[in-house]
Chains A and B, each alone.
Chain A
């Protein structure tokens, strides 16, 4: 863990003691203790300082602004990059009855958006996408009211050195100065030194900003590299893992793969799995979350859209059926496992052909200087650009950056992404302690870890069977066998849903 004041002139952590905070935590949230980093960040914010929290997945980042709600005057504005993430977080606030919450994003109709803006003072929390925050009407409305806390979630998106760089985050620093929040809290799960500097600089945070960076190490998650020769072998080993009968999350790369793998699993054991991706409606996503949280669904096959903000504490097994895009995504996704602190297993399948396939994909997705220039010259003509590429360039145009600068930025980020991918591939083919490698990559001051049998391993030795026998995951939290979900007769559905008079 590293906690720093950006400046020696920064005040101390205020007058609220950890004990006082913990008392409130118990009363309001039912937890006895804070997770690492929460208390110092809260103390800094309560003393009126801005803060940057770099806390691993599952460390309770959203609790920070939820906790602060009764302590600050004015609206809590949370900028969040994903619609599904906003919906999840807003849903959690509603379920916990922490205050009135609104979500402002592109999914609202014009009338709905106007309604929210008109009644903005009535809300306690407002979630919005960075693109929405760029709209003059939204900014104007925010300037008219008191913003008690501005939260920039997934703040690493602001850094072109980060893997998830979003051009729409670029103007957040200027906007922040215009809406003048009483405090700002930037949050991310992953940020190396460079990304951290970018966050502070681009958000125009003062030198007094309090920074807390926790270690990424999660000793309760056993890391496993599983090299496989082909798809058949991968499928068979997946079946073996799924046969452990524990709550399981399987990550795949695309929506189609999520649907296909679910179908295959379902053929093996009907009703065991459901897929989850951004193509599902809010209602469908909520329903799958409900089933998964209530242990009525044992396996979810998901794209990276799953998980942000979803706190399923007893998730025992995370499988990367396909490789994530980079180290950062991997770290975030394995972090969904074992949030209850109990042992969990993260298996990532690696095939020799992955290297070439993913390298080529990176190269294919690169925007050439010519196509960038053409887009800036003729923004209405999408040429051969895919939707994602158009979105990126559109965001740069809206950020009013000149074409030459965009070309330079995108060339740099493309090279960076390639380097990051190569580093990740080195990890995926390594033979040394995986946990140590993760800490070395992410932690500013990595500790020397003690490698043991309960830490991590690479195939073939020990075998996956041995690892599973050692971990005994099913004994920790076996999921009840998911009820096969056959169609029910309408009358039976109504009897189940409603109380008969």
Chain B
């Protein structure tokens, strides 16, 4: 991986570099989620699902060699040097860091991106009667999803897809629209190769990928905001109903129904510790987490000094300070 990209994940204060690695890779444990939350990296969770530990280590070592970070092997922590901070500021000013892409709300970025690009390839090829070709992604599930989407929208839907795309690109910030549109290609129009596009934008190919995700994040926000204008794009790029996995979602749903904690424990047949972890996940990942729910209040009052209570209060306080003191609902 491009070492300098890692600079965006570190700060002047020491950070646990393993937690950052697992966060980028998307290893979902409470500990990693908390670290991601603490470091402001929750949205970038799962950004590099295929990242290998050796490559990550090599990138970190390179940053250390260039005196951009200081690594404390004993504590397994790393922090930016002042030169590293300057470099980080410069990099972030380039605007490629995917701040607009929210993993928990939008799903895996790479999959959404491939769905969009494949849909463009398929519709363009279809319109130009190119029947036999290699799909631009090898991911079978994505191929099947796009095929199912195409079947659902029908022949006329293809043209509506193009109209929606045009409309959405016109509504996006100019740079994001340029990046998305110039990433499209089909067997009829082979477009611009990624490296050339990166060069035209004064980015490296690795930075371009992040810029693409960022632009995609803006597009997804738009189509989520204006549901009536973009029905076909919404069908193509479905976003998760909830950021929680099935079991955590069940637990949180029970909490929202107003059940007492003891009733939830009895109904679930899971360990209490596991259920509390589910609630912590919900507190971390659901922006509208209901702290007022009876079960949550019960737990907070039962032991205000417990790990659970402390963490929930931290999350709510941090969120409240980010939203100007108002509780997000």
Residue ranges of A at the interface with B (Cβ–Cβ < 8 Å): 87, 90-92, 94-97, 102-103, 107-109, 111-112, 115-116, 259, 262-263, 266, 271, 274-275, 280, 282-284, 286-288, 290-291, 294, 296-297, 382, 386-387, 485-491, 493-494, 496-499, 501
Assess A387 versus B52: contact at CB under 8 Å? Given A115-B140, A274-B195, A485-B192. yes
| A284-B184 Cα distance, complex, nearest whole Å | 11
| A279-B92 Cα distance, complex, nearest whole Å | 24
In the bound complex, residues from chain B placing their C-beta under 8 Å from that of A290 are 185, 187, 190
| A280-B206 Cα distance, complex, nearest whole Å | 10
Taking the closest CB of chain A, its distance from the CB of B1, in whole angstroms, is 10
Taking the closest CB of chain A, its distance from the CB of B307, in whole angstroms, is 31
Cβ–Cβ contact A498 & B199, under 8 A: no
Cβ–Cβ contact A282 & B136, under 8 A: yes
Which residue on chain B has the smallest CB distance to residue A387?
A: B54
Taking the closest CB of chain B, its distance from the CB of A10, in whole angstroms, is 38
Which residue on chain A has the smallest CB distance to residue B124?
A: A497
Taking the closest CB of chain A, its distance from the CB of B3, in whole angstroms, is 12
Partner of B191, one of A259, A266, A287: A287
Interface residues of B in 115-171 (CB under 8 A from A): 117, 120, 123-124, 127-128, 131-141, 159, 162, 165-166, 169-170
Partner of A287, one of B190, B200, B205: B190
Partner of B199, one of A263, A280, A284: A263
Q: Per DSSP, are chain A's interface residues mostly helix, strand or loop, or mixed?
A: helix
Number of B residues whose C-beta is below 8 Å from A?
A: 50
Binds A, one of B175-183, B242-250, B314-322: B175-183
Cβ–Cβ contact B177 & A490, under 8 A: yes
In the bound complex, residues from chain A placing their C-beta under 8 Å from that of B166 are 490-491, 494
Cβ–Cβ contact B190 & A294, under 8 A: yes
Determine whether B197 belongs to the interface, using a CB cutoff of 8 Å to chain A.
Answer: yes
12 contacts between A and B (CB under 8 A): A95-B132, A97-B132, A107-B139, A262-B195, A274-B195, A282-B137, A283-B137, A287-B185, A487-B197, A493-B191, A497-B120, A497-B186
Assess A109 versus B182: contact at CB under 8 Å? Given A94-B133, A290-B190. no
| A259-B159 Cα distance, complex, nearest whole Å | 38
Assess A493 versus B159: contact at CB under 8 Å? Given A94-B133, A112-B141, A274-B193. no
Determine whether B196 belongs to the interface, using a CB cutoff of 8 Å to chain A.
Answer: yes
Determine whether B189 belongs to the interface, using a CB cutoff of 8 Å to chain A.
Answer: yes
In the bound complex, residues from chain B placing their C-beta under 8 Å from that of A87 are 134, 138
In the bound complex, residues from chain A placing their C-beta under 8 Å from that of B190 are 287, 290-291, 294, 296
| A147-B268 Cα distance, complex, nearest whole Å | 48
Which residue on chain B has the smallest CB distance to residue A488?
A: B182
In the bound complex, residues from chain B placing their C-beta under 8 Å from that of A283 are 114, 117, 136-137
Assess A95 versus B134: contact at CB under 8 Å? Given A111-B141, A112-B141, A490-B166. yes
Which residue on chain B has the smallest CB distance to residue A385?
A: B54
Cβ–Cβ contact B200 & A486, under 8 A: yes
Cβ–Cβ contact A498 & B124, under 8 A: yes
In the bound complex, residues from chain A placing their C-beta under 8 Å from that of B135 are 94
Residue ranges of B at the interface with A (Cβ–Cβ < 8 Å): 52, 54-55, 114, 117, 120, 123-124, 127-128, 131-141, 159, 162, 165-166, 169-170, 177-178, 180-182, 184-197, 199-201, 205
What 4 pairs across the A-B complex have the smallest Cβ distances? Answer: A91-B134, A490-B181, A490-B169, A283-B136
In the bound complex, residues from chain B placing their C-beta under 8 Å from that of A296 are 190
Taking the closest CB of chain B, its distance from the CB of A295, in whole angstroms, is 11
Cβ–Cβ contact A493 & B139, under 8 A: no
Taking the closest CB of chain B, its distance from the CB of A252, in whole angstroms, is 14
In the bound complex, residues from chain B placing their C-beta under 8 Å from that of A501 are 159, 162
| A282-B134 Cα distance, complex, nearest whole Å | 10
In the bound complex, residues from chain A placing their C-beta under 8 Å from that of B127 are 498-499
Taking the closest CB of chain B, its distance from the CB of A453, in whole angstroms, is 38
Which residue on chain B has the smallest CB distance to residue A493?
A: B181
In the bound complex, residues from chain A placing their C-beta under 8 Å from that of B191 are 287, 493
Cβ–Cβ contact B134 & A490, under 8 A: no
In the bound complex, residues from chain A placing their C-beta under 8 Å from that of B117 are 283
In the bound complex, residues from chain A placing their C-beta under 8 Å from that of B133 are 91, 94-95
Cβ–Cβ contact A497 & B189, under 8 A: yes
Which residue on chain A has the smallest CB distance to residue B118?
A: A283
Cβ–Cβ contact A108 & B178, under 8 A: no
Cβ–Cβ contact B132 & A94, under 8 A: yes
| A259-B194 Cα distance, complex, nearest whole Å | 12
In the bound complex, residues from chain B placing their C-beta under 8 Å from that of A107 are 138-139
In the bound complex, residues from chain A placing their C-beta under 8 Å from that of B197 are 487
Cβ–Cβ contact A284 & B139, under 8 A: no
In the bound complex, residues from chain B placing their C-beta under 8 Å from that of A297 are 193
| A60-B169 Cα distance, complex, nearest whole Å | 44
Cβ–Cβ contact A275 & B195, under 8 A: yes
Cβ–Cβ contact A287 & B182, under 8 A: no
Taking the closest CB of chain B, its distance from the CB of A385, in whole angstroms, is 9
Cβ–Cβ contact B196 & A287, under 8 A: no
| A382-B55 Cα distance, complex, nearest whole Å | 13
